[in-house]
Amino acid sequence: MGRYKIALLVTLLTAGLVVIAPAAQAAGTQHLHFEYGPVHVLRGQNVIQNSGSIPKPAQDGWITGFRPNLILPDGTVPPVDVIHLHHVVFLNTSRSDTTRPGLPERFFAVGEEKTRLKLPKPYGYPTKASDHWALNYMLHDLVNREFDVRIVYDIDFVPANTSKPLHNVTPIWMDVQNGSAYPVFDVHLHGGTNGKFTYPDDATNPYSGAPLNEWTLPSAGRLVLTGGHLHPGGLWTDLYLERGSQTAHLFRSTAKYYEKAGPVSWDVSINVTTPKWNVGVQAGDVLRITATYDSSQWAWFETMGIMQVWFAPNETGTDPFALSTSQMKGKLTHGHLKENNNHGGADDPTLPDATALPDGSATTTVDITNFLYQPGNLLHATAVPTVHAGDSITFDNLDAPASGYGTWHSITACKLPCDKTTGVAYPTANADVEFDSGQLGNNGPPTAGRLTWNTPTNLAPGTYSYFCRVHPFMRGVFRVVP
């Protein structure tokens, strides 16, 4: 597979998940540390990029554990509210992907939930010295400041010449939008049922053709490990197996939030299977996944639902319709991480309560420049720009060029007065009236393909506050008047 073709293919890969299960390590296990970078991150950057070759084990063997992270030049992990590893997908370009054969093999990935891989004994992901690895990654800079960072990954590796052969496992990438250029979906406030929105079940026409959240097993074998990936707001992913008219629920990968404000931040750990979990599958069985988000108080934009399943071919396992309660019980992968310590939501003396400010001048255009909404920026505001009911305001992102890389911004409604300090849990898209512009830019995913956005013309008279969900320290306000 040529390098040019690889670069085209990996642009289709965006997401993050990885899994862990407690297990003893195989004899001869080595602990290897690798780094990619430095990568220069521009101020406010939120772009999807691809690497060339990345470091990897220099000999044949098996990978049994994988732990990626992001570090600054001084070796520290940056705060998640400053810069974070939105996702990094590890690609073995020497093989084809299992569920999307036209792509390189997606054998490992991680998002900001930072789940870790630990395959149960005696299983390992086989890798060869001749394999070529690459990355698809998205580094999200949430502030008006540049950084140099490195993507680091620690691997548990068993050389082929130091141990009896491990049992080979194949990664099965399951995604509710599998194969999409940007596999995301939106969750609207109060969507779904009883404050929970499940994708794709609660979505209207989620697929134009065949469902993207299903995959048919071509051969029999054993499923040995799985876990999910969700964005903030996510509650769980579910893995199902369908065999003829029968459906088996194989596992629910739940999110444990350490966040006191609720399911609203990356301060979370994902529940994954333990070595007790194993599932015998047959050729023709259909795997299917769903993702459930909390829509009771929040809207969530550009969310994901992914599960990676590890498959051992030609092995037997538990009847999927007879899994016990103990087998279905999962295990959290880690506790609270200190890079999530700044939760936000405290009083901020620099941001006034816009509801107490007088009407400002009528406006039809707001320019977004140098990370400010002008007019309407809440920082040190003394009046609120107005628009007549039935009219709209046009927002124009001047921080992005007509095409190509730039700084993307959004206009996302937040509950008044939206004037607290910024952190991993504040602000959120929790306004009673929902609106969101998408990421204003014209450079393919994740941008909206445009630089401008108009406020809805049906907004009732009142004051509306908003923030940039790419750079949450940015706050703005406008007022609809009769």
Show the low-confidence residues of the chain (pLDDT under 70). Answer: 1-24
Distance between CA atoms of residues 412 and 472, nearest Å = 10
Residue 382 and residue 274 share a domain = no
Of the residues 279, 311, 340, which one is the last residue of a structural domain? 340
At 369, phi and psi to the nearest 5?
-145, 135
Q: What is the pLDDT of residues 59-96, one digit of tens each?
A: 999 999 999 999 999 999 999 999 999 999 999 999 99
465 beta partners: 414, 477
**Domain, as residue range, for 461:** 344-482
> b/e map of 44-64 (b: 16 or more CB within 10 Å)?
bbbbbbbbeebebbeeebbbb
Q: How many CB atoms lie within 10 A of CB 143?
A: 17
Which helix (H) or strand (E) segment holds residue 9: the answer is helix 3-10
Model pLDDT, residue 24: 59
Residue 380 and residue 318 share a domain = no
Model pLDDT, residue 164: 86
Q: Which residues contact 407 (CB under 8 A, 6 or more apart)?
A: 42, 43, 44, 45, 46, 371, 397, 399, 400, 441
Q: Report how many domains make up the chain.
A: 2
Model pLDDT, residue 181: 83
Q: Cis ω on the peptide bond leading into residue 427 (within 30° of 0)? A: yes
CA gyration radius for the chain? Answer: 23
Residue 279 and residue 372 share a domain = no
Residue 357 and residue 268 share a domain = no
DSSP type of residue 459: P
Model pLDDT, residue 40: 97
Distance between CA atoms of residues 249 and 155, nearest Å = 31
Which helix (H) or strand (E) segment holds residue 3: the answer is helix 3-10
Q: What is the pLDDT of residues 321-366, one digit of tens each?
A: 999 999 999 999 899 999 999 999 999 999 999 999 999 999 999 9
Q: Mapped to the 3 state alphabet, what secondary structure does 305-364 carry?
A: EEEEEEEEECCCCCCHHHCCHHHHCCEECCCCCHHHCCCCCCECCCCCCHHHCCEEEECC
Distance between CA atoms of residues 226 and 274, nearest Å = 9
The three-state secondary structure class of 8 is: helix
Residue 353 and residue 323 share a domain = no
* CATH at residue 481: 2.60.40.420
Nearest 5°: CA angle at 189, between 183 and 192? 75
Give the type of residue at 367. D
Residue located via tokens 């706050």: 475
CB 449 within 8 A of CB 437: no
Residue 116 and residue 45 share a domain = yes
The three-state secondary structure class of 4 is: helix
CB 112 within 8 A of CB 266: yes
Judge residue 92's burial from the number of C-beta atoms within 10 Å of its C-beta, 0-12 exposed, 13-18 middle, 19 or more buried: buried
Residue 352 and residue 328 share a domain = no
CA–chain centroid gap for 258, Å, is 18
Q: How many CB atoms lie within 10 A of CB 29?
A: 20
The three-state secondary structure class of 270 is: strand
Greatest Cα pair distance, the chain, in angstroms, is: 78
Residue 280 and residue 398 share a domain = no
Strands 246-257 and 196-199: unpaired
DSSP type of residue 178: T
Of the residues 315, 340, 365, which one is the last residue of a structural domain? 340
pTM (two decimals): 0.93
Distance between CA atoms of residues 303 and 220, nearest Å = 32
Residue 292 and residue 384 share a domain = no
Strands 384-388 and 359-362: parallel
CA–chain centroid gap for 61, Å, is 30
CB 176 within 8 A of CB 199: yes
Q: Where are the beta strands (DSSP E) in 193-330?
A: 196-199, 214-216, 221-230, 234-243, 246-257, 268-272, 279-281, 286-294, 300-303, 305-313
Residue 9 and residue 133 share a domain = yes
Residue 334 and residue 369 share a domain = no
50 beta partners: 136
Tokens describing residue 32: 């290897």
Give the type of residue at 331. K
Residue 310 and residue 380 share a domain = no
Of the residues 340, 375, 390, which one is the last residue of a structural domain? 340
